[in-house]
Protein backbone atom coordinates (compact mmCIF):
# COMPACT_ATOMS: atom_id res chain seq x y z
CA UNK A 1 0.00 0.00 0.00
CA UNK A 2 1.40 3.40 -0.95
CA UNK A 3 1.86 5.89 1.85
CA UNK A 4 0.11 9.24 1.80
CA UNK A 5 3.41 11.16 1.57
CA UNK A 6 4.61 9.14 -1.44
CA UNK A 7 1.34 9.71 -3.28
CA UNK A 8 1.51 13.48 -2.57
CA UNK A 9 5.11 13.65 -3.80
CA UNK A 10 4.18 11.78 -6.98
CA UNK A 11 1.23 14.12 -7.58
CA UNK A 12 3.38 17.20 -6.91
CA UNK A 13 5.87 16.12 -9.55
CA UNK A 14 3.15 15.09 -11.98
CA UNK A 15 3.35 18.53 -13.54
CA UNK A 16 6.86 17.67 -14.70
CA UNK A 17 5.53 14.76 -16.73
CA UNK A 18 4.09 17.14 -19.31
CA UNK A 19 5.28 16.63 -22.88
CA UNK A 20 8.99 17.18 -23.18
CA UNK A 21 10.25 20.56 -24.28
CA UNK A 22 11.21 20.82 -27.91
CA UNK A 23 14.64 21.97 -28.96
CA UNK A 24 13.16 25.26 -30.17
CA UNK A 25 11.50 25.89 -26.81
CA UNK A 26 14.72 25.15 -24.96
CA UNK A 27 16.64 27.45 -27.28
CA UNK A 28 14.15 30.27 -26.66
CA UNK A 29 14.47 29.89 -22.91
CA UNK A 30 18.27 29.77 -23.08
CA UNK A 31 18.53 32.75 -25.42
CA UNK A 32 16.10 34.82 -23.39
CA UNK A 33 17.98 34.05 -20.18
CA UNK A 34 21.33 34.87 -21.74
CA UNK A 35 19.97 38.11 -23.17
CA UNK A 36 18.63 39.22 -19.82
CA UNK A 37 21.90 38.41 -18.06
CA UNK A 38 23.82 40.26 -20.75
CA UNK A 39 21.54 43.26 -20.43
CA UNK A 40 21.86 43.33 -16.67
CA UNK A 41 25.65 43.08 -16.73
CA UNK A 42 25.88 45.73 -19.44
CA UNK A 43 23.97 48.35 -17.47
CA UNK A 44 26.91 48.75 -15.10
CA UNK A 45 29.09 50.00 -17.99
CA UNK A 46 26.54 52.60 -19.11
CA UNK A 47 27.22 56.20 -18.08
CA UNK A 48 23.83 57.67 -18.97
CA UNK A 49 20.21 56.58 -18.95
CA UNK A 50 20.16 56.90 -22.75
CA UNK A 51 23.11 54.49 -23.06
CA UNK A 52 21.33 52.07 -20.72
CA UNK A 53 18.12 52.22 -22.80
CA UNK A 54 20.05 51.68 -26.04
CA UNK A 55 21.97 48.77 -24.51
CA UNK A 56 18.78 47.17 -23.21
CA UNK A 57 17.07 47.60 -26.57
CA UNK A 58 20.05 46.11 -28.43
CA UNK A 59 20.15 43.18 -25.99
CA UNK A 60 16.45 42.51 -26.37
CA UNK A 61 16.70 42.70 -30.18
CA UNK A 62 19.65 40.28 -30.14
CA UNK A 63 17.71 37.87 -27.92
CA UNK A 64 14.58 38.16 -30.06
CA UNK A 65 16.50 37.45 -33.28
CA UNK A 66 18.25 34.43 -31.73
CA UNK A 67 14.93 33.08 -30.45
CA UNK A 68 13.29 33.57 -33.85
CA UNK A 69 16.14 31.76 -35.61
CA UNK A 70 16.04 28.91 -33.09
CA UNK A 71 12.27 28.54 -33.47
CA UNK A 72 12.40 28.42 -37.27
CA UNK A 73 11.84 24.76 -38.11
CA UNK A 74 13.19 25.28 -41.63
CA UNK A 75 16.66 26.14 -40.29
CA UNK A 76 19.15 23.57 -39.02
CA UNK A 77 19.24 23.95 -35.23
CA UNK A 78 22.93 22.97 -35.02
CA UNK A 79 23.88 25.66 -37.55
CA UNK A 80 21.74 28.31 -35.88
CA UNK A 81 23.22 27.48 -32.47
CA UNK A 82 26.63 28.53 -33.82
CA UNK A 83 25.40 31.86 -35.21
CA UNK A 84 26.78 35.08 -33.79
CA UNK A 85 24.05 37.72 -33.62
CA UNK A 86 24.77 41.29 -32.54
CA UNK A 87 22.65 44.43 -32.55
CA UNK A 88 23.73 48.05 -32.39
CA UNK A 89 21.06 50.74 -32.53
CA UNK A 90 18.69 48.39 -34.36
CA UNK A 91 21.26 47.20 -36.92
CA UNK A 92 21.64 43.43 -36.61
CA UNK A 93 24.72 41.57 -37.82
CA UNK A 94 24.45 37.85 -38.55
CA UNK A 95 27.57 35.68 -38.71
CA UNK A 96 27.70 31.95 -39.16
CA UNK A 97 27.62 29.20 -41.73
CA UNK A 98 24.73 27.34 -43.35
CA UNK A 99 24.61 24.67 -46.01
CA UNK A 100 22.32 26.40 -48.52
CA UNK A 101 21.52 29.83 -49.95
CA UNK A 102 17.90 29.23 -48.97
CA UNK A 103 18.89 28.83 -45.30
CA UNK A 104 20.97 32.03 -45.43
CA UNK A 105 18.05 33.93 -46.97
CA UNK A 106 15.66 32.48 -44.39
CA UNK A 107 17.91 33.55 -41.49
CA UNK A 108 18.22 37.06 -42.91
CA UNK A 109 14.45 37.30 -43.39
CA UNK A 110 13.79 36.08 -39.83
CA UNK A 111 16.15 38.74 -38.49
CA UNK A 112 14.69 41.48 -40.70
CA UNK A 113 11.15 40.64 -39.55
CA UNK A 114 12.03 40.86 -35.85
CA UNK A 115 10.58 43.84 -33.96
CA UNK A 116 13.07 46.67 -33.50
CA UNK A 117 15.36 45.63 -36.36
CA UNK A 118 16.04 48.51 -38.74
CA UNK A 119 18.64 46.82 -40.94
CA UNK A 120 20.41 43.45 -41.26
CA UNK A 121 24.05 42.97 -42.17
CA UNK A 122 24.26 39.41 -43.49
CA UNK A 123 27.75 37.93 -43.10
CA UNK A 124 26.48 34.34 -43.16
CA UNK A 125 28.59 32.03 -45.32
CA UNK A 126 27.16 29.20 -47.40
CA UNK A 127 28.73 25.76 -47.71
CA UNK A 128 30.67 23.27 -45.65
CA UNK A 129 33.54 24.36 -43.46
CA UNK A 130 36.80 24.62 -45.39
| Per-residue model confidence (pLDDT) at position 51 | 61
Q: What is the pLDDT of residue 37?
A: 46
DSSP 121: E
Per-residue pLDDT at 48: 72
**Could you tell me what percent of the chain has a pLDDT over 90?**
53
Q: Each residue of 59-90: pLDDT tens digit?
A: 999 999 999 999 999 999 999 999 999 999 99
pLDDT at 15 over 60: no
Which one, of 83, 88, 50, lies nearest residue 69 by Cα?
Answer: 83
84-88 vs 91-98, strand pairing mode: antiparallel
Interval 36-62 mean pLDDT: 65
In the chain, where are the structural domains located? 22-126
Mean pLDDT of the chain: 76
Amino acid sequence: MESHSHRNAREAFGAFRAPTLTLAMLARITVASAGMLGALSGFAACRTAEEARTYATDSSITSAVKAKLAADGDLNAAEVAKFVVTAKEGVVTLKGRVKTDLARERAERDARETDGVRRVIDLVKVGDLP
